[in-house]
A and B are shown apart, each in its own frame.
Chain A
Amino acid sequence: MSISQTIDLENFNDIDMKKIAGYRKEDGFELVVEIEKLHLGFKIKGYLKGYVDEVELFKFKRPDKLLVNNWQSWGPSKVTQKDFQLNFPRELIQKFGFSASIMPELYFDNLLSDYYVASECFFVGCLSSKVAHPYFQIDGDEVSVRLKYFGMNFDEWNETETIVILLDKPEVTLPYYADLVAKENVVNISDKRWVGWSSWYQYFVDFDYEKMCADLENARARGYDVFQIDDAWEVDIGDWTPNNKFPSLEKVAAKIKEYGYIPGIWLAPFSVSETSTLFMKHPDWLVKDGNGNPRVAYENWNKKIYALDTTVPQAVDWLTSLFEHLKDCGFEYFKIDFLFAAAIQGKRFENVTPVQAYIQGLNAIRQAVADSFVLGCGAPLLPSVGYVDGMRIGPDTAPYWDANGPDIGHPNAYYALRNVLTRWHINGIWWWNDPDCLMLRKVDTQLSDAQRELYTLVSLLLDNMIIQSDNLSYEIDDRLWTVVSEYRKYGKRKVLLSGIMSGQYNITSCGVDGCDLLSITDLEKCVFTYSKDSGDIKLEKTIEMQDDGRRFNYYNEND
């Protein structure tokens, strides 16, 4: 590991790239590195042979400011200075487990970034995570670029994941990188731009069929596409049958459809709680530790949660049947949560990396639900590209805004929105970003009018998914709901965000009606200005289908 080269990307010269290329023999494996010119930079591709736990491809000098990124949905994506210290609360390490990192043994005492880093003038990132876990270890004045293979043996030469170096400012490199990843992973973005409702941020687990029916009734004029029940309906984590608060899933889905909505449902398919029947009946389906005992992936619901081994054929059959059944019940929108569980380190039935195991599990779900909408959450980001239609890209939001709380993935509207801004570039390219739910109620919340407005505007202007989570019998901020409806009248938007490195975010969001500007000068204090580019002309579009199947779009000026 010590023989890789350190380059200076802030004072770049072509010769540095040649230092990285070539053949190396290291302890247990051989490595060949190739460099290829690319618009804005270079592609770095390796070939490995032998036993590999980890490869360090090269190092580069650490800039003063670096955008770092956590491996999964909830983890922070933020700009760090050289004096940054993680300071993860020690008492939470066990509870978080692998939620914080695929490499908890390294994470809590080091500064890591997963998949990519960006500075004011360069970007380094990996185009895929199909076998290895790509990450950056930031140590003193250097940043080490690594691929973690978790102890894999390659008898033949094996191509590594591809790294790119891009030399430009972040508003250029971040979306460019996102597109390169999409091409590498053959992404087909869903054309389902649904607006929906979710039970979670109003009721949490205190939700039942009666409340569902009441909100369905109150949702009549809202014009949602999707109505999704969240965590509350199941017997246990791993036992995905309705508890005594709900009737059969067929009846739940049918009830939602009665109101003209697409039924949506939440579950955590790779998680198995210690109290579940699944845990008791099938300990052989779980990821094991070195002693052959089921390994705890994380703690939640006041329980130890274990991880489904997605390489066990019977476990995959169970997973497939589960989702086929949910689809048969009438659900067409699946929010699948705590997905990182399938990617924890440990012993599995097949000798694959945690990343490969995760993809096998996710692929089984994708195949089972076919063209239904899949929203990932708590998910390793890069390995999920190409398998989900939507993805949560920040921690849980909350009915409070705490800029002084720990930045570790805890529920907090402030950090949730910060991630929505710093991961803006993957929206509409890897999937549709889920900024998490909008809470538009004026009661039963600590959010101020300004915080509620800013959350809504950022989500809309960045063209993210829009899901509302309110008891609809409460007083709702209808002014904001009107804004939502206006923005979602037409198709997708073209968006540019600048200012990530300074934390003074400027969003330009363009649609049919014009280009709107949102400038956030102080996110902590929720200081922003919003400028709506209304223009003089309002066109109303109506669509008519002809008998011969041709579509006519009529545009009339609305005075």
Chain B
Amino acid sequence: MMERRYNVLADEWVMISAFTQQRPTNPTTSCPLCVGGDEFSRPYDLASFDNRFPSMKVDAPNVESENSLYKKARSNGKCEVVVYTVDHNSAMSLMPIHQIEKLIKMWADRYLELSLQPTMKYIFIFENRGSEVGATLSHPHGQLYAFPFLPKRIEAKVQSLAKYYDEHGRCAICDVVENEVSIRERLVYENESFIALVPFYARWPYEVHVYPKRHVSSLVELNNSERNLLSKVLKVVTMKYDLLFQQSFPYMMMLFQSPVNDIRYEHAFHFHIEFNPVKRDKNKIKWMASVETGTWAFINPKLPEEAAAELRSVEVII
């Protein structure tokens, strides 16, 4: 069973996939991403591969809607596992800058290659780090979902950024960058091409966003110098996270790029990365509970300006 079902209550698609139910909660023997594990019989540097337990597949079966109330659609997307390094004990915070740069190139390749398929509408690159956010493997890796539809929150971002552009004639994130660089109190880190900040509108206690200073709609549009600077930002942010409570810090890292096979919003959609960490203190979790899940309204117990100051004060050397 692999299909999409339409929710008439929320105007959204839900992916139904029996495959994902078979996903292991925690490997009992060896790491499948290490050489000699279930997935790799030979050495590698970086790799991406089709998820053994996908919620979407390019050749997903055709489906027919039951009626106009219960609409169905093919789950003809793609789910890939993106392995950052062969080193099991590494992490974004521990990897050399050079390795992160290679990872960025691999992301760019996956984005461009998958966008060549006209059925793809959105390429979502992400990493779940730590069991607190559902990661089942500790080997440094992320994932990639190529959606054949525009997910609800992406649609909200696209529409919101387009609305701002219509009202102001400018990209909203370009304006945020200009403002944050000026006032500085929410900045966590800055280099020539990027800022990392706890945003004014942070939903999570230590939420960090990474914004390129120049308007680009996808990471592909970053030149090599900018890609190098982005790898430094990713390293710094994740190092600061790990040092904040002196523990391997769980987070969801998500890359937001403009939709593919639809360039109507590239001038308004500014590529950005969100880190959504679930910790609100060393031993406390900020749960995505009823209010957040049911209403999409977040209650953030931490003042973003205070979180920014704390993260800013964590010294890192790269």
A residues sitting closer than 8 Å to B (CB atoms) are: 39-40, 168, 172, 175-176, 178-180, 183, 187-189, 191, 193, 429, 490-494, 508, 510-515, 533-537, 539, 541, 546, 548, 550-557
Contacts and interface: CB of A to CB of B under 8 A. Distances in A.
Contact of B220 (A40, A494, A537): A494
B266 A175 contact: yes
A537 B50 CA distance: 25
A40 B166 contact: yes
Given A39-B162, A189-B118, A490 B222 contact: no
B221 interface: yes
Nearest to B166: A39
A178 B220 CA distance: 21
21 contacts: A39-B268, A175-B266, A179-B263, A492-B116, A493-B112, A494-B220, A510-B222, A511-B112, A512-B108, A513-B224, A515-B221, A534-B224, A536-B101, A537-B105, A541-B109, A551-B49, A553-B110, A554-B45, A555-B46, A555-B48, A555-B109
Contacts of B47: 552-555
A539 B116 contact: no
Contacts of A492: 112, 115-116
B98 interface: yes
Interface of B: 39, 44-50, 52, 98, 101-102, 105-106, 108-110, 112-113, 115-118, 162, 165-166, 169, 218, 220-224, 227, 261-268
Contacts, number: 122
A429 B109 contact: no
Nearest to B226: A515
A514 B224 contact: yes
B118 A511 contact: no
Contact of B102 (A175, A494, A554, A555): A555
Contacts of A490: 109, 112-113
Nearest to A40: B166
Given A512-B112, A537-B101, A552 B264 contact: no
B86 to A, nearest CB: 11
Contacts of A429: 263
Given A179-B264, A553-B48, A555-B109, A510 B102 contact: no
Contacts of A188: 118
A390 B220 CA distance: 24
A63 B108 CA distance: 40
B166 to A, nearest CB: 6
Contacts of B220: 494, 510-512
Given A179-B263, A429-B263, A512-B108, A554 B224 contact: no
A550 B57 CA distance: 10
Given A188-B118, A510-B221, A537-B98, A557 B264 contact: no
Contacts of B109: 490-491, 512, 539, 541, 553, 555
Contacts of B262: 179, 183
A174 to B, nearest CB: 10
A533 B264 contact: no
A193 B115 CA distance: 13
Contacts of A494: 112, 218, 220-221
Nearest to B219: A510
Nearest to B267: A172
Contact of B105 (A39, A172, A178, A555): A555
A203 to B, nearest CB: 33
A178 B262 CA distance: 10
Contacts of A491: 109, 112-113, 115-116
Contacts of A40: 165-166
A176 B162 CA distance: 12
A191 B113 CA distance: 10
Contacts of B98: 537
A537 B102 contact: yes
Given A493-B112, A494-B218, 11 more contacts: A39-B165, A168-B267, A175-B266, A189-B118, A490-B113, A491-B112, A510-B221, A512-B105, A512-B220, A533-B224, A536-B224
B50 A550 contact: yes
**Which of B222, B262, B263 has its CB near the most chain A CB atoms (within 10 A)?**
B263
A533 B169 CA distance: 31
A171 to B, nearest CB: 8
B264 A539 contact: no
A355 B113 CA distance: 36
| Nearest 9 A/B pairs, CB to CB | A535-B224, A550-B50, A552-B49, A515-B223, A491-B113, A491-B112, A514-B224, A555-B46, A512-B109
A417 B50 CA distance: 41
A537 B107 CA distance: 14
A510 B217 CA distance: 12
A513 B264 CA distance: 25
A510 B226 CA distance: 13
A176 B115 contact: no
A39 B269 CA distance: 13
A215 to B, nearest CB: 29
B117 A191 contact: yes
